[in-house]
A and B are shown apart, each in its own frame.
Chain A
Amino acid sequence: MPDSSRSQRLRKLVQEIAGKPAPEDDQESLFESGLLDSFALPDLVSAIEKEFAVKVPDSDLNPRKFDSIARMDAYLSDHL
């Protein structure tokens, strides 16, 4: 289930990588909105692994899982 503290940490990570504020709406696509480009995605996954001490296996490297703060939160909810 959504975790507001985790969402805030994810929002901070997105902001650091994008160099711009994260969207207010957690459901908004970070890539379709143009906030992040394709080369930011590997950096985002690495940052999530470090921040949450979790290993994202290659089989989970599906861009849809990391497309929005809500989806990242849901992924972490299932794997932490």
Chain B
Amino acid sequence: MIPAYLHGFGAYLPERVVANAELAERLGRTSEWIESVSGIQERRWAAPEATVSDMGVAAAEDCLRKAGVPANTLGMLIVASGSGARGFPGPAAEVAARLGLDSTPALDLPMASAGSLFGLALAMRLAETQGDVLVVGAEKMSAVIEAAPQDPNTAILFGDGAGAALVSARPGRWRMLDAVLHSDGKYREDLAFQGTGPLRMNGLTVILQAARKIPSSITEVLGRQNVSAQQVAVFLLHQANLNLLTRVAKSLGVSPEKVFSNVQRYGNTSSASMLIAASEWSETTSVRGPIVFSAFGAGFHWGALLADSAA
């Protein structure tokens, strides 16, 4: 298989900042409680009229501009979102059309939280035949929160935003080495949103499984490539909850500083979060070395992907 490379990332975050104090009042909790159970201080919410596709297009354009790649050269588009406004077509068709693409395959991954990881892993394997593949994760979780009265434990977590990554068989900044993906549908009811009504989350099960499966998938992909967790330059994970990120670091035996976090400022943006994190990290560092991506989400779906600085 011809190797694939990550060329760069992009992101979009809505302007409106929703601080804990605003939610605390509505939910009968305190700002301090929200921060203690999640690490989240504030999140961004999109305007009521803004859509998942609007945010996806903005992140896609940011990524393409930074990578210096015109949209009309893309060989494939993958859009991950668990909060698209309708059943079909998903946001990939609209994002593709608004990027000016009229025959490029555009694939929806209707997956919450783990969607962008699965998109990256697919892109890694498809770049050889498709050319440049743009992976987008876009979520309007505020629409889910506003759809019905929510359990405060759930309502405090989520934010809106989008992230993007460009994957290509052309040599780029990071070489993608390996990926492991897993799913176990017996947990499908433990984290679910039906399109209306409240988001259902069995928090104890989600956290117990995530705290085990994220480190185990990371260990699996590192072991396959003979890389130790201590050698990894940065872990770019789905930004679910700061307490979970800290536990993942502890399980792996690495310093918490190696696990990039921006959940404090953006909350849990589901499938967008890992690529938003990657975009911020890549703009603020020149660190070289192995990078690990990992995510866990509704389904359950989880996995990890290993990349390394290209020579």
Contacts and interface: CB of A to CB of B under 8 A. Distances in A.
B33 to A, nearest CB: 11
In this complex, the member of B204, B207, B247 whose beta carbon has the largest number of chain A beta carbons within 10 angstroms is B204
Given A37-B37, A39-B244, A39-B247, A61 B207 contact: no
A22 to B, nearest CB: 18
Nearest to B213: A58
A41 B204 contact: yes
A16 to B, nearest CB: 16
Nearest to B244: A39
Q: Chain A: interface residue count, which band?
A: 10 to 19
B289 interface: no
A60 B203 CA distance: 16
B274 to A, nearest CB: 20
A63 B244 contact: no
Contacts of A31: 204
Nearest to A62: B205
B151 to A, nearest CB: 12
A58 B209 contact: yes
Interface in B193-212: 202-205, 207-209, 211-212
A39 B207 contact: yes
A74 interface: no
A64 to B, nearest CB: 9
B230 interface: no
A38 interface: yes
B243 interface: yes
Contact of A61 (B209, B243, B247): B209
Interface string B168-209: 000000000000000000000000000000000011110111
B92 to A, nearest CB: 32
A63 B202 CA distance: 10
In this complex, the member of A31, A42, A45 whose beta carbon has the largest number of chain B beta carbons within 10 angstroms is A42
Given A39-B247, A42-B211, 13 more contacts: A37-B37, A38-B203, A38-B208, A41-B207, A41-B211, A42-B212, A43-B247, A58-B212, A58-B216, A61-B212, A63-B202, A63-B204, A63-B205
Interface of A: 31, 37-39, 41-43, 45, 58, 61-63
